[in-house]
Structure 1
Amino acid sequence: MSSANLTREETAARSAGITVRDIRVELDIRQAPDPQVGGFGSTTTLRFDATTDATWIDFIGEVRAVTVNGDDRPVVYDGARIAISGLQASNTVVIDGIGLYSRSGEGLHRFVDPVDGETYLYTQYEPADSRRVMACFEQPDMKASYTFVVHAPAGWHVLSNQSSIRVAEQGEAQTVEFAPTLPLSSYITAVAAGPYHRVDAEWTRGDQMVALGVLCRPSLAEFLEADEIIQVTRQGLDFFTDAFAFPYPWGKYDQIFVPEYNLGAMENPGLVTFTEAYLSRGAATDAQRGSRANTILHEMAHMWFGDLVTMRWWDDLWLKESFADYMGSHASFAATRFTDAWERFAANRKAWAYQQDQLPTTHPIVADITDLEAAKLNFDGITYAKGASVLKQLVAFVGEERFFEGARRYFAAHAFGNTTLDDLLVQLEDVSGRDVRAWSRAWLETSGMSTLWIEDAGDERVLVQSDPRPHRLRVGLYDLDGGALVRRESVEVDIADERTPIRVQDADLVLINDDDLTYAKARLDARSVDAVEQGLSTLDPLPRALAWSALWNAARDGELPIKRYLAIVAAHAAAEENMGLLAGVIANAAYSIGHYLPEPERSAQRAGWLETTWAALNGAAPGSDAQLSWARAFAAASAFDSSRAGEARGVLDGRGPEGLRIDPDLRWTLLTALATTGQASAADIDAELERDATASGRTAAVRARAAAPSRSARAAAWDAAWDDESLTNDHLSTTIDGVRAGGRRDLIEDRDADYFARILGAWSTRSIELARRLVVGLFPASDDLTMVDAWLAENTDAPGALRRLVIEQRDHLARELRVRALQAQLA
């Protein structure tokens, strides 16, 4: 095992013998604008107590010198760990090193904006990349007070977790020293620097004032929507301050939108980082803004769940992510104008959890994470969406006020410390009086999900569940009245056994888990599917979301014919008023055609789907969010069928439906679709790039060029993805997208063997983030599982995280083959 892959056991032993007091980090980024300079100075002073003679300090870079308690020591370094010996009860260790600027989004990422030629830096560490910037104890249970000192070009904004306490100008450079932090884990420390655009505001509550900042690159300033971001931030701080009865503890609250970001966002206290994808370049639906608000509130919840109280090791990652995911939706609904958060959660967020939980690699919410590579892959649908879904059930189980009171006691008891599952259960059990430990065993410490359905058993009806768990839920009874589905009654039910008699009367639609209180796949009976087929769009938003979800689960499980699913989408999607739901339905419909239909049937269905999108686009109200959503769907569908290429070109040239907002991103989607079907040339791409010579435009051009429908173009893109290590994280992803564009497997199927020959080498030589993109993005979508099974059999000793990815991709493919084979039987 690589020394970079820290294990749970060795880090637990280290923290048992080392108690960190404070860490001072001095970074020299004065030469960052010079592309010939690949590294930056990093000097770290660590003060700690020890009950052991020796330990190691984590760092990935070049180590120039090591000093222990004033004595120069030989550098004993294996590329990831610096060995330290001869420790005393109290120690001061100084590590002088050079870190490398990143283009993968890990560590200190350096980006040059082609619009202004300026350099922009930011850090991203979770779970273990702070060691790429500073020497540290890279584990969450070794908290310390951090002081950052940054030498940077003059005129730059320089930011960290705390406010600056000293700024000294020295000609063309400046030195910025920040106030010491409260105790933090290394992975949530942060630095950002560059000539960013900044908007200032503040939030006040009583005698507490928090300075707010919102930042982005100047070339995106016109799209920042700072007023709305600040409003949501203030609403969130109001909500969480009251809900948690613990004042925001981190001083200031900066939020920065950064380029080439691997995540949605990261909860660094006092300096939250977001992907620039949340800044739409000219056109956005309200659902997109709602998603951004949800993420702002998700990260804000982390200021308490994760930053104030932190899991001891990555087994309990859920102690922050599940809670933040739940709180993002809860606070959106309770405190902002985005009151449809739970509808979007039910239809879309939970779909991620359902998919992940049916893989052979599924795991309990409280997972067994043995090392850092496993931790990296556990930022998944179980830890986030299933965990949030289960917490929603916990709130129903103990009551909302008791749940929040338990959280308040948890923060008070463990502020600035580290916890495990039991620390939370103690508080919830004390405040609720309910058997929360039994609930935890059923929900947090097991894997998989229940499927619920109703059966007639003689004179009674029985609610049946596979994989039994305790559920508190409601069963909604809906009648068709003039073509509309109207709820007659909602029956509250507590179940724990495999079969539970329930008093449910006859109804046209029986909607199990009405109000979405629990986490389970709820099946619709045949009569209910018929009713939904007639009146789906007449349901209220939450039951409509649940119906859409039930239909999709049945389709991908091979119980509902894909053609019937697509017919229901064609009949009702154009009437869908919730843009968050519509986005999910559009994505699922397109995916089902390309993955769940037998190959001979795809062309006709792709043509039909293209016509559906075109008709819905032309039928939508001018300038509406629906019109924009359907324009995007039409552009995406045009990559698979060229029969509307003339209309796609017309939209691109401004001859689309009245009121349609054609922003640069929509233009690129249309042009890439035309390029994918051979209806646009390299000259067209060059002309569009000249029109949009931004970073986003250059990234889109990479995709468009790679998507050309020829074996030579796809082969060149394939080889570049594996071999060209100069590709940034974003350019690698778009190259992979181009390779797969238009579902043209016929252009790349001769590369299947090459994939399996390359993945082990890529895993050992590329960062885990980039290697993961290659392993997942280029997995062969063959009709034969032979090659993947052979690789798994021959590589039993491959890294566990790599095997997990391959096993998951195999399972997705096996499901596709299984569902395709069932279509003739279901017809």
Structure 2
Amino acid sequence: MTSSNLTRDETAVRSQRIRLDAVEIDLDLRDAPDPAAPTFPTTATLTFTATGEETWLDFLGEAVDSVTVNGASRDVEWDGARIRIGGLTWHNVVTIRARGRYSSSGEGLHRFRDPVDDAVYLYTQYEPADSRRVYPVFEQPDMKARWRFTVSAPAGWHILSNGPEVAREDVAGGVRVRFAETLPLSSYITAVAAGPYHRVDGEWRDADRTVPLGVLCRASLARHLDADEILDITRRGLEFFERAFAYPYPWGKYDQIFVPEYNLGAMENPGLVTFTESYVFRGASTAAQHEGRANTILHEMAHMWFGDLVTMRWWDDLWLKESFADFMGAHAAVAAGGFPDAWVTFASRRKGWAYVQDQLPTTHPIVADIPDLEAAKLNFDGITYAKGASVLKQLVAFVGEEAFFRGAQRYFADHAFGNTTLPDLLSALEAESGRDLTAWSRAWLQTSGLSEIAVERDGVHPPVLTQTDPRPHRLTCGLFAIDDGRLERQGGLDVDAVDERTPLPGTIGDGIELVLPNVDDRTYAKVRLDAGSTDAAATHLSTVADPVARAVIWASLWNATRDGELAVTRLVGIVSRHGVHESNIALLTDALSHAHVAIGRYAAADARASLATAWLDTCWNALWDAEPGSDAQLAWARALAAAAARSAGRAEQIRAILARTAPAPDGLPLDPELRWAWLIALAATGYATAEDADAELAADPTAQGHVAHRTALAARPDAAVRAAAWHAAWEDEGLTNDHLAATIAGVRAGDRRDLIAVHDEDYFARIRPAWAARSIEIARRLVIGLFPASDSLDDVDSWLDGNPDAPAALRRLVIEQRDGLARELRVRAAQPTAL
């Protein structure tokens, strides 16, 4: 345990002894454009009451210059993470003058230089505990304060924080901006951004007030920013959530800024929401991409209430904000956002994430045991987000939608600007619904794992719903018959299942070809189709009219493949047959991804090459047959890029299209994103050179172009090239987070184990030192991204056996990677050996 890894117990003691009132932050960022200036002055003044004589403040920076307590200068006692503060009285004013360090990992205050125009951009990202990289703080969510920010930066920059700007003055080398005092906030959702951002203004009016809106991105991306659509979603969301939660949006303005080299999808900082600039679409984009962005906008907006207005006390109740925001993102996208198929995407993508996470040996209850910050960092996972949201979907059905929202309204009214735990929410929902939620909470929030549900119908009268790891499920088994070559639903059987075996309340006629448990995706469970239903799906899946039902079928087939119950060859055949007819672009995109992953991870070794070649041809033919300019055409073009990195069968044709010596399919937008994807694939198979990559970069000298260029160079199928990239990933600490990810992608390109297996031993020698020396974000990328996909568990087992005292968070990552490898080996062994 290091002093930077705060524990739940010690922070609980601190918050009992300290009552924080206000924090004033003064940042001087005027030297940010100078690459020779690695640090910035930062001053924090904290006002609080105390019941003891000493405490500590958290700071991960370059230096602490001075400490003043109640007007008296004190010696600096700082161990690199904690600043000891002594001589406290009942009422205290503590001022710390320090120097923070600009980040290149996306943690703290990130500094980015745009290669297009050499402009410098800054933004902060803190969750769960990185505000202490920028200013000295009490870094825990239950110590809220009113914050007052002052920021000095170069003239001509946009300078933003949570509150609106209230004063500005010219100073030497720039401007000094003061922001309005915030309502009580936890440190991890404070925020600052500064730079020559492009800004589009808007507003949202309700009956009583006007909320200023802003949408910002880098200047070089301005022509790609579809701000009108973003503002429209924002207005719809604010209107919906204010009405649903019966609590006015409390944070004044609503700026949304799209930032480079971002580690997350988005972060809900009140008044200054940050998003990955991947949501600024540089080229062609599908309806699913727009839906995904809208969902994220609404997810972050839900946090303005769930998480920001009312905040969990400690990270074990992270679900109190993330599960709710994940649920609300989909719910609001359907109810108000103009995306009626958002629950289809949720059923396929978000639940798929949760199912994978929940089958790992490191799975945990939705209400998790989080003893320290390192554990918290890794708990932003499929359980906390997607499983929690899935369970909330059930809860809404259980208590009723009206009662659920009345309960939420009571929760916000009772706990506004405070911190809560699970019982606070349950009591509000129980009060409004009249239902006792004790058993529900115990079954769904306080247990881990998932049920596998199936229907036994052959030789069983009545048919029986079975489930492993029994939990209470209320679901419908959809019954489908073939009518004129189509699978048509013929009704369903509703069932409340609690035990391992539950007789279905009805019969299944002889003409029923497909029985689909959880047909409307109401419950959270892995669905296993019986043999007859699998055959019917294999033949007729794309004829099922309901996209939610198709999502459940696609998910069932994928889970069966991951479990070794469905041959990879059969899954790929189903995707090849029905993908060309799948009308929901999110389902198509997921199916194409699953086929690609299945070939690389689960196919038998001696069948993989022929299967990869056949899949490449499927993608190629589907691309040319797709409707010109359609989302499906773009999805198949992207799938072709992934397939072409493994198999060179279409390399010359792809190269000719890129060189414009052969025509592209009609309507296909050969934009920079697609060109790079195809070029990286060619590089991985030896059909693109460094000169080709350089030429592409000359045509696209953007930040995204530089990242892709790095991957293309590292992807070339030469052992020396891959070795150089391997060493750069571990040893070049100048790599930004995005450049590290690009380097890792190049190392792993084309699944060329023959080029990188030599580094397996080096991996296990490096991961523990890297965990100790690098930030968690960078170390996590290295540990996961470079884990050896070997044909044996011996090396990883040896490391785990030999490192029982390694940090728990590092061991968790390695255990999860081991489980994935064990699954791959187990499933491969069960595969047919011929295509």
Partner of 1:583: 589
Task: Output the CA distance in 2 between the equivalents of 1:459 and 1:688.
Answer: 65
- Tell me the residue number matched to 2:288: 287
Contact 2:410–2:428 (8 Å) recurs in 1: yes
Task: Answer with 650-659 or 555-564: which moved more.
Answer: 650-659
Deviation at 1:496, TM superposition (A): 1.2
2:373 is aligned with 1:372: yes
What corresponds to 1:702 in structure 2? 710
From 765, 778, 794, the counterpart of 2:786: 778
Aligned AA for 1:560? L
Tell me the amino acid that sits aligned with residue 144 of structure 1: A
3-state DSSP of counterpart to 2:251? coil
Comparing 192-201 with 397-406, greater Cα deviation is found at 397-406
Aligned-pair distance for 1:415? 0.4
1:677 aligns with 2:691: no
Please name the residue that 2:15 is paired with: 15
1:303 equivalent in structure 2: 304
Between 669-678 and 502-511, report the one with greater CA deviation: 502-511
Q: Does 1:526 align with 2:534?
A: no
Helix, strand or coil: the match of 1:551?
helix
Question: 1:145 aligns to what?
Answer: 146
| Equivalent position amino acid for 2:348 in 1 | A
TM-score, normalization: structure 1?
0.99
Deviations 1:476-520 (A, max 9, x none): 111111210111102222111111111242321111001110000
The one-letter code sitting in structure 2 at the alignment partner of 1:14 is R
Distance 1:400 1:547 in 2: 27
Alignment of 1:154-173 (within 5 A): 154-170=155-171, 172-173=173-174
Task: Point out the more displaced range, 358-367 or 476-485.
Answer: 476-485
Kindly indicate whether the alpha-carbon contact (under 8 Å) linking 1:650 and 1:656 is maintained by their aligned counterparts in 2.
Answer: no
Alignment length, in residue pairs?
A: 827
Q: What's 2:126 paired with?
A: 125
The DSSP-based 3-state class of the residue aligned with 1:368 is coil
TM-score (norm 2): 0.98
Runs of 4+ in 1 over 6 A off after TM superposition: none
How many Å apart are 1:435 and its aligned residue? 2.1
Give the conservation status (yes or no) of the 8 Å contact 1:199–1:215.
Answer: yes
In the TM superposition, 1:392-791 aligns within 5 A as 392-456=393-457, 458-502=460-504, 503-506=506-509, 507-539=512-544, 540-654=546-660, 655-791=663-799
Q: Which residue of 2 aligns with 1:335?
A: 336
Opposite residue 112 of structure 1, the aligned amino acid is R
Contact 2:238–2:249 (Cα < 8 Å) also in 1: yes
Deviation, structure 1 residue 825: 9.7
- The Cα shift of 1:646 comes to 1.7
Aligned to 2:37: 37
Paired AA for residue 2 in structure 2: S
How big is the alpha-carbon RMSD for the aligned residues of Structure 1 and Structure 2? 1.0
1:782-801 aligned at under 5 Å gives the runs: 782-801=790-809
Partner SS state of residue 551, structure 2 = helix
Deviations 1:772-803 (A, max 9, x none): 00000000011110010010001000000000
Q: Partner of 2:122: helix, strand, or coil?
A: strand
Contact 1:483 1:534 in 2 (8 A): no
Say if 2:820 is the partner of 1:820. Answer: no
Contact 1:560–1:826 (CA under 8 A) maintained in structure 2: no
1:826–1:365: structure 2 CA closer, same or farther, 3 Å change rule? farther
Q: Which residue of structure 2 lines up, in the alignment, with residue 254 of structure 1? A: 255
Residue 158 of structure 1 aligns with an amino acid whose one-letter code is I
Q: Report if the CA contact (8 A) 2:606-2:834 is conserved.
A: no
Q: Quick one: distance in 1 between partners of 2:114 and 2:463? A: 64
CA deviations on 1:585-641 (whole Å, 9 max, x unpaired) are: 111000000000111111001001101101110011111111111111112211111
1:238-294 superposed Cα distances (whole Å, 9 cap, x missing partner): 110111010100000000000000000000000000001111112111110110000
Secondary structure of 1:757's match? Answer: helix
Cα distance in 1, alignment partners of residues 411 and 95 from structure 2: 36
Secondary structure of 2:722 counterpart: helix
- Whether the 8 Å contact between 1:396 and 1:472 is mirrored in structure 2 is no
C-alpha distance in 2 between matches for 1:111 and 1:544: 43
The residue type paired with residue 793 of structure 2 is: L
The amino acid of 2:639's aligned partner reads: A
2:52 counterpart SS class: coil
Tell me how far apart the structure 1 counterparts of residues 134 and 766 of structure 2 sit (CA, whole Å).
29
Structure 2 partner of 1:46:
46
Query: Would the aligned equivalents of 1:161 and 1:269 in 2 still touch at CA under 8 Å?
Result: yes
The correspondence of residues 163-312 of structure 1 with structure 2, limited to 5 A, is: 163-170=164-171, 172-312=173-313
Q: Distance in 2 between matches of 1:773 and 1:135?
A: 27
- Local SS of the residue matching 2:830: helix
SS at match of 2:518: strand
Secondary structure of 1:460's aligned partner? coil
Say which SS state the counterpart of residue 308 (structure 2) adopts.
coil
Equivalent position SS for 1:759: helix
- Does the 8 Å CA contact 1:59/1:131 hold for their aligned counterparts? yes
Instruction: Tell me how far apart the structure 2 counterparts of residues 97 and 730 of structure 1 sit (CA, whole Å).
Output: 28
Distance 1:170 1:809 in 2: 52
Q: Deviations over 1:510-536 (max 9, x none)?
A: 110011100001111111111111211
Report if the CA contact (8 A) 1:406-1:428 is conserved: yes
CA contact (8 A) 1:561 1:826 kept: no
Distance 1:270 1:462 in 2: 52
Q: CA shift at 1:826, angstroms?
A: 12
Deviation of 1:458 (Å): 4.1
Alpha carbons 2:604, 2:832 under 8 Å: kept: no
AA aligned opposite 1:505: I
Give the distance between the partners of 2:408 and 2:158, measured in 1 at CA: 36
Distance 1:385 1:413 in 2: 27
Report the equivalent of 1:25: 25
Question: Matched residues, percent identical?
Answer: 64
> 1:24, 1:618 → 2: CA distance?
60
CA-CA distance at 1:337 after TM superposition? 1.9
Structure 1 residue matching 2:812: 3-state secondary structure = helix
- In the TM superposition, what whole-angstrom CA distance separates every residue of 1:159-197 from its partner, at most 9, and x where no partner exists? 000001101123641010000000000000000000100
Residues 365-422 of structure 1: CA deviation (Å, up to 9, x unaligned):
0000000000000000000010011111111111111111111110011000000000
Partner Cα separation in structure 1 for residue 402 and residue 830 of structure 2: 47
Distance in 2 (alpha carbons) for counterparts of 1:500 and 1:417:
44
CA contact under 8 A between 1:635 and 1:670: conserved in structure 2?
Answer: yes
Hey, what's the Cα distance between the residues in 2 that align with 1:710 and 1:653?
24
SS of the residue aligned with 2:5?
A: coil
Q: Which amino acid aligns with 2:250?
A: P
Aligned to 1:4: 4
Cα distance in structure 1, aligned partners of 2:507 and 2:383:
32
- Name the structure 2 match of 1:94: 95
The separation in 1 between residues aligned to 2:119 and 2:315, in whole angstroms, is: 37
Letter of the 1:196 counterpart: Y
Query: C-alpha distance in 2, partners of 1:504/1:635?
Result: 47
